[in-house]
Amino acid sequence: MVKKKKKLLSIISTVALFSGILAGCSGKEESASGSKGAEPETLTFLIDNQTQVDGIKAITDAFEEKYNIKTEFETRPGGSEGDNIVKTRLATGDMADLVWYNSGSLLQALNPEQNFVDLSEEPFMENVMDNFKEAVTVNEKVYGIPGNATNAGGWLYNKKVYEELGLTVPKTWDELMANNEKIKQAGKTPVIGTFKDSWTSQLIFLADNYNVLAENPNFPEEFTANKAKFADTPAALRSFEKLEEVYKKGYLNEDFLATTYDQGLKMLAEGTGAHYPMLTFALAPLAANYPDQIDDIGFFPQPGDSADKNGLTVWMPGAVYLNKNSEHIDAAKKWMEFYVSQEAVDLYTSKVAPDGPFAIKGVELPEDVYQAVKDMLPYYESGNTAPALEFLSPVKGPSLEQITTQIGSGISSAKEGAELYDKDVEKQAKQLGLEGW
């Protein structure tokens, strides 16, 4: 069933609130030998309270047993409040030894060259996939390791519906639309829309980035430098056009504006809806709420217009960074080396079912991973993946979900929506002080 060699990442595991500080011994005396009789060296680790920690705690417990180095967890809020705490602690020199924070463009706001250790020459970084390293690289220096598994953006689908109707996984957008038409004729909802939770309206647009890059590899750089726009770049405009087409052909459920994310998951699990454009972090709540149906859920990337360029848009996981002012840099590097090992992945997956492959080369995942994760593996193994645009550009307009809701419900055309989005990102780019704006 599953091919064991997994080549890549694993995203942003889904939200499970974790509050308080995971207690650890606060012994301060360093122990270079790591012998059991010596007082353990202690590393502090700042992590947000929205990250699931069961798998991480399994790794740190084993690391302590093996090397006599404890990990003392400190927690912070998520969102902007948590961002401010991280920035304040870095500015005041009060940062933990290890820091969990976003990968991608948000890293630059933390001034990593000043605050974090460059890991570029560390031998253990050879284990980390290049796509992830790009997401934690500033000025050709690499600063982080992957904190958990990757997520992918694409289409979750009900395999039983496909079997019932004799459908095959589409490799082009036209093939997907043909499948939708057959599903509609069979009296089922072809595409589940859950625009009551407006963030879900973005997925068809966001999951198309692999296809944009296949046509315009330099689009992220040109977009960031204000040399390319969505409205006048055909491959980028196409992402909005696909959302528009799904609405115009009547493939959404009739009540898509009033349907919630949770209701959409129920439709998918029960097979009343065949497709759900979504991030794979939806697999965890699907498994929790519909355990008998989770193996009926498959996944495929959002197709482009050519079967020869079929690939997957990936959301990189959060990263772990090493404080440049830490008094325990050698111990922290040993911690990082262990964290990206096969042993650590085994410990993590013994506690948490991953929503995608890990961003670590050659690691093996357990045989009982979600069927949808198995469907993702060939794209990772062949290298046919690309990061989502937000990991390649700091520019993401705050009104995107409102704009995609308008396009996806017929209020605005794809072209009008693209023009609105180009204006939306202009405001943000100027606030960020980016050159060219």
User: And the tokens for 211?
Assistant: 């296809």
User: And the tokens for 61?
Assistant: 């417990």
pLDDT score of 18 more than 60: no
Same fold, 5-149+317-377 and 151-314+395-432: yes
DSSP string for residues in 96-147: -SEEEE--SGGGGGG-HHHHB---TT-GGGGGB-HHHHHHTEETTEE-EEE-
Least confident of 32-41, 243-252, 310-319: 32-41
pLDDT score of 2 more than 60: no
User: And the tokens for 322?
Assistant: 């090493």
CB 276 within 8 A of CB 192: yes
Mean pLDDT of 214-218: 97
Q: If we measure between CA atoms, which residue out of 151, 92, 138, 80 comes closest to residue 321?
A: 138
- Looking at domain 151-314+395-432, what is its CATH homologous superfamily? Periplasmic binding protein-like II (3.40.190.10)
Instruction: Tell me the one-letter amino acid at 144.
Output: G
Provide the pLDDT for residue 328. 98
Provide the pLDDT for residue 11. 34
Prediction pTM value: 0.84
CB 172 within 8 A of CB 311: no
Angle between helices 54-67 and 342-351 (to 10 degrees): 140
CB 370 within 8 A of CB 349: no
What proportion of the chain, given as a percentage, has pLDDT over 90?
83
User: And the tokens for 224?
Assistant: 């960031």
Provide the pLDDT for residue 50. 84
SS3 320: strand
Q: Could you identify the residue written with the tokens 């980028």?
A: 236
Tell me, what DSSP letter sits at residue 13?
P
Residue 314 phi/psi, 5° resolution?
A: -115, 140
User: And the tokens for 418?
Assistant: 């693209």
Mean pLDDT of 28-49: 71
Provide the pLDDT for residue 36. 55
Q: If we measure between CA atoms, which residue out of 324, 322, 352, 285 comes closest to residue 149?
A: 352
Give the length of the chain: 437
β-pairing verdict for 41-48 and 69-76: parallel
Q: If we measure between CA atoms, which residue out of 70, 18, 72, 84 comes closest to residue 45?
A: 72
> For 256-270, how does the pLDDT look when each residue is reduced to its tens digit (9 = 90+)?
999 999 999 999 999
User: And the tokens for 90?
Assistant: 């870095």
CB 52 within 8 A of CB 59: no
Question: 5-149+317-377: what fold?
Answer: D-Maltodextrin-Binding Protein; domain 2 (3.40.190)
* Distance set, CA 345 to CA 70, 118, 144, 426 (Å): 19, 23, 17, 41
User: And the tokens for 199?
Assistant: 């963030």
Give me the residues paired with residue 363 across strands. Answer: 6
pLDDT score of 17 more than 80: no
User: Alpha-carbon dihedral of residues 290, 291, 295, 297, nearest 10 degrees?
Assistant: 20
Average pLDDT of the chain is 91
Mean pLDDT of 346-371: 93
Which residues fall within 8 angstroms of residue 387, CB to CB, at 6 or more apart? 104, 131, 134, 135, 209, 313, 314, 315, 316
Provide the pLDDT for residue 431. 85
> For 378-437, how does the pLDDT look when each residue is reduced to its tens digit (9 = 90+)?
999 898 999 999 999 988 889 999 999 999 999 999 999 999 999 999 988 998 889 999
Mean pLDDT of 333-352: 97
End-to-end CA distance of the chain: 50
Provide the pLDDT for residue 324. 97
Helix, strand, coil tally for the chain in percent (to 5): 45, 15, 40
Q: Could you identify the residue written with the tokens 């909005």?
A: 240
> For 135-177, how does the pLDDT look when each residue is reduced to its tens digit (9 = 90+)?
999 999 999 999 999 999 999 999 999 999 999 999 999 999 9
Q: If we measure between CA atoms, which residue out of 201, 152, 190, 105 comes closest to residue 400?
A: 201
User: And the tokens for 254?
Assistant: 């009739």
Mean pLDDT of 45-62: 95
Helices (H), ranges, 271-389 = 283-289, 329-339, 342-351, 371-382
Provide the pLDDT for residue 37. 63
Q: If we measure between CA atoms, which residue out of 293, 279, 264, 316 comes closest to residue 370?
A: 293
What proportion of the chain, given as a percentage, has pLDDT over 70?
92
CA distance 399 to 388: 18
> For 55-98, how does the pLDDT look when each residue is reduced to its tens digit (9 = 90+)?
999 999 999 999 999 999 999 998 889 999 999 999 999 999 99
SS3 211: helix
Domain boundaries, the chain: 5-149+317-377, 151-314+395-432
